[in-house]
Amino acid sequence: MMKFELGCHLVYSIYEPSTFVFNIGVVHNQHQQVEQEKLQIYPRLEIEEYNAPFSGNRYLRLNAPKCQMEVSYQATVKVNHCFQDPHQIREVTPANLPLEILPLLLPSRYCQSDKLINLALSEFGNLSLGYSRVTGICNWIYEKVTYLSGSSNPHTSAYDTATERVGVCRDFAHLGIAFCRALNIPARFVTSYAYGLNPPDFHACFEAYLGDRWYLFDPTRLVPQTGIIRIGTGRDAADVSFATIFGTVEMNEMSLSMQPLPDPNTGKVGQPFSTTEAISIS
């Protein structure tokens, strides 16, 4: 068990009445218990909340007038990671996957798995099946793709990154997902708060469905995996942008914070750590 206080603060100049759909709230599930949570909007605006049925993603819609708007989200979250021995975790064939998971095998806007099948088979087709094959994919990405801020743009997709070999966390995740799907391993995009990211920012990684659940993978190796708190999951970045905006708007400020809190029982502060065990928070 670990406990974190985390949050974000966003400031926008809104030049005409505009609609925002935010996806910044931590997902509530058995692994992530939210003890306290506070959302503040200035000016005060009506908020509609929509919890997506499968993913549990928490979308907030705001219709804002011309104004300067501030959005603050703050939460205290207890995380119970599920740790597993990677050697015991097997791939599940399409014959046996839960039917509602099959869509996560399909290509999506930024994960053109249909065009990466030969590449995936050539690079990973001979690896032994199971959790370790997805680790192999992450190692490949870590070794062959350069992490470089500003090197990609919102249109950049896995098809580009496979060849251009440079990108940011979002691109690393898209490529990991595309490779998994090309090998018939369901995979989905994860947005998160992440402890230790420097400079602080929203983080992106991915989950692959193996055995009987979704396991977390982060090919960037930028942060300790146990410091990742899940916000949303989707087919790719399009589904879980922290802010989808309809209108003429400028973002003036974005700051994120995250710190471990003491365990109420032991009084000890749990430091996020890296691990070679398999981790699930879904």
**Judged by CB under 8 A, does residue 23 bind a copy of itself?**
no
Taking CB under 8 A as the criterion, the residue among 106, 129, 251, 269 binding a copy of itself is 106
Helices (H), the chain: 117-124, 131-144, 158-164, 169-182
Tell me if 218 sits within 8 A of 272, measured CB to CB: no
* CA 216/CA 214 separation, integer angstroms: 7
* Nearer CB in complex with a copy of itself: 102/129: 102
Least CB distance from residue 268 to a copy of itself, whole Å? 41
DSSP E strands: which ranges in 120-272? Answer: 146-147, 166-167, 187-194, 203-210, 213-217, 228-234, 243-246, 249-260
**If binding means CB under 8 A, how many residues of this protein chain bind a copy of itself?**
44
* Nearer CB in complex with a copy of itself: 86/234: 234
- Residue closest to 141 by CA, chosen among 153, 124, 125, 117: 124
* CA 237/CA 110 separation, integer angstroms: 7
Binding mask 133-172 for a copy of itself (x = CB under 8 A): -----------x-x-------xx---x--xxxxx------
Question: Per DSSP, what are the bridge partners of residue 214?
Answer: 209
Least CB distance from residue 10 to a copy of itself, whole Å? 18
Tell me if 20 sits within 8 A of 245, measured CB to CB: yes
Taking CB under 8 A as the criterion, the residue among 40, 68, 118, 257 binding a copy of itself is 118
* Nearer CB in complex with a copy of itself: 23/225: 23
Binding site for a copy of itself (CB under 8 A): 17, 19, 21, 48, 50, 52-53, 59, 61, 63, 93-95, 99-100, 102-103, 106-109, 111-112, 114-116, 118-119, 122, 144, 146, 154-155, 159, 162-166, 184, 238-239, 244, 246
